Amino acid sequence: MKIHEYQAKAILARHGVPVPRGEVALSAADAAAAARRLGGTVVVKAQIHAGGRGKGGGVKVVKAEEAEATASRMLGMRLVTHQTGPAGQIVERLLIEEGLQIARELYLGLVLDRSTERPVLMVSPDGGVEIEKVAEETPDRIFKEYIRPGAGLGAYQTRKLAFALGLSGPQIGEAGKLMMAIYDAFRATDASLVEINPLIVTGDGHLLALDAKMNFDDNALYRHPDIRDLRDPAEEEPLEVEASKFSLNYIKLDGTIGCMVNGAGLAMATMDIIKLAGGEPANFLDVGGGANAEQIRNAFRILTSDANVRAVFINIFGGILRCDVLAEGVINAVKELGVRVPIVIRMEGTNVERGKEMLESSGLNFTTADTMSEAAERVVAMAN
């Protein structure tokens, strides 16, 4: 799960990470009031779940008196950055912060490294810009320390990283404290990522998190209701939000063939075979191993409410989910929703003969296929 910058900064501040003074604003009037309280130079920052806002026009350094006008231009705008995709994201919230003198822009990231099964703390003296570019072009400018969970982050590790950042004097101790606080926040919240880009050295020589991003492990959210409450559905794909209500694993894609599949492995294979047949999947929809007729109906409704879908491919292995239950769910859904796009069904497994009979005698227009490749070719032809 992702959260906004202002929410991440509040969490980090509670764990002792220094962040700029600032307030969230939902209207231009809020922004004006916040800017008046901060005074001097302020920064108006669009709050969307994507980075690269600076380059896209979502971060503006202005005089406090200008904050209201800047805020009213930014609120409601469709912000496009290299991370949002071409559709962009509508700005609904702003963060109004004190403007700071920046002497240096550094990078700090803490993520779980799956290959070593440890959190890895990464820093780079080349912060502020796209860190992906640094990783690609000058990987030797990224310094890493792996953290043994039992021992925690060692002071010697923070010193090594502080030296690598080119810090000196009292900044070494400050960086150590900041890194410890970041690790503390990461562990306490079951975060999967904390990223500070840029971590700045201020004009008067102090370290501060100027930007903040936190992601959390969805599987641990049950023990963090306060973090779960920070979820912003406006940032998520509406159909994905709808699907999650029915425990359906749905991800919207850009193609024209709607896929309904049980099991993530079969979903991957289905997308591959659609591509092989020359088509493009409109989504990834895994109804799970033990879906019932009601879930199938909702899955179908969500799938066909995507305007891009021109044909539907149902590819089911009937293990726990029996083929007759699937057929019942699909028939009910089509009767109720009046689906207009062609539907190709390939199923295999428990009660497959009974399932096929039900589809055939339903009087509805289904195309059935015995193999995955035959089904894929048919559905691609229909979508085209």
Tell me which residues touch ligand GDP (CB under 6 A): 43, 51-54, 59, 61, 99-100, 102, 105, 128, 197-198, 210-211
Residue among 107, 145, 174, 377 flagged as catalytic: 107
Least CB distance from residue 106 to ligand GDP, whole Å? Answer: 11
Residue 258 touches which of ligand GDP, Mn ion, none (CB < 5 to 8 A by kind)? none
CA distances from 64 to 38, 73, 93, 310, 358 (A): 8, 15, 18, 51, 69
Report yes or no: 172 and 73 within 8 Å, Cβ to Cβ.
no
Report yes or no: 282 and 255 within 8 Å, Cβ to Cβ.
yes
Residue among 195, 235, 328, 377 flagged as catalytic: 195
Task: Name, in order, each residue with C-beta under 8 angstroms of 361's C-beta and a sequence gap of 6 or more.
Answer: none
Residue 210 touches which of Mn ion, ligand GDP, none (CB < 5 to 8 A by kind)? ligand GDP
Q: Which of helix, strand or coil describes residue 278? A: coil
Q: Which of helix, strand or coil describes residue 176? A: helix
Least CB distance from residue 366 to ligand GDP, whole Å? Answer: 48
As a whole number of angstroms, the longest Cα–Cα distance in the chain is 81
Residue 128 touches which of Mn ion, ligand GDP, none (CB < 5 to 8 A by kind)? ligand GDP
From CA 202, how far away is CA 104, in angstroms rounded? 7
Mark whether 97 is an active-site residue: no
Region of 85 (left: φ > 0; alpha: ψ -120 to 50; beta: rest) is left
Instruction: Tell me the chain's radius of gyration from C-alpha atoms.
Output: 25
Which amino acid, residue 51? G
Least CB distance from residue 147 to ligand GDP, whole Å? Answer: 25
Least CB distance from residue 325 to Mn ion, whole Å? Answer: 49
Q: Select 192 or 197, whichever has its Cβ closest to ligand GDP.
A: 197
Q: Select 79 or 333, whichever has its Cβ closest to ligand GDP.
A: 79
Least CB distance from residue 9 to Mn ion, whole Å? Answer: 12
Which residue has the closest beta carbon to Mn ion? 211
Tell me which residue of 250, 275, 276 sits closest to 262, measured CA to CA. Answer: 250
Q: Select 14 or 82, whichever has its Cβ closest to ligand GDP.
A: 82
Q: Select 77 or 269, whichever has its Cβ closest to ligand GDP.
A: 77
CA distances from 356 to 13, 86, 192, 347 (A): 59, 42, 44, 9
Q: Select 30 or 126, whichever has its Cβ closest to ligand GDP.
A: 126
Q: How far is CA 145 from the centre of its chain?
A: 26
Residue 126 touches which of Mn ion, ligand GDP, none (CB < 5 to 8 A by kind)? none
From CA 255, how far away is CA 307, in angstroms rounded? 11
Least CB distance from residue 252 to ligand GDP, whole Å? Answer: 23
Q: Select 22 or 258, whichever has its Cβ closest to ligand GDP.
A: 22
Residue 53 touches which of ligand GDP, Mn ion, none (CB < 5 to 8 A by kind)? ligand GDP
* Contact positions vs Mn ion (CB under 5 A): 197, 211
Mark whether 222 is an active-site residue: no
Residue 105 touches which of Mn ion, ligand GDP, none (CB < 5 to 8 A by kind)? ligand GDP
| Residues annotated as catalytic (active site), given as ranges | 107, 195
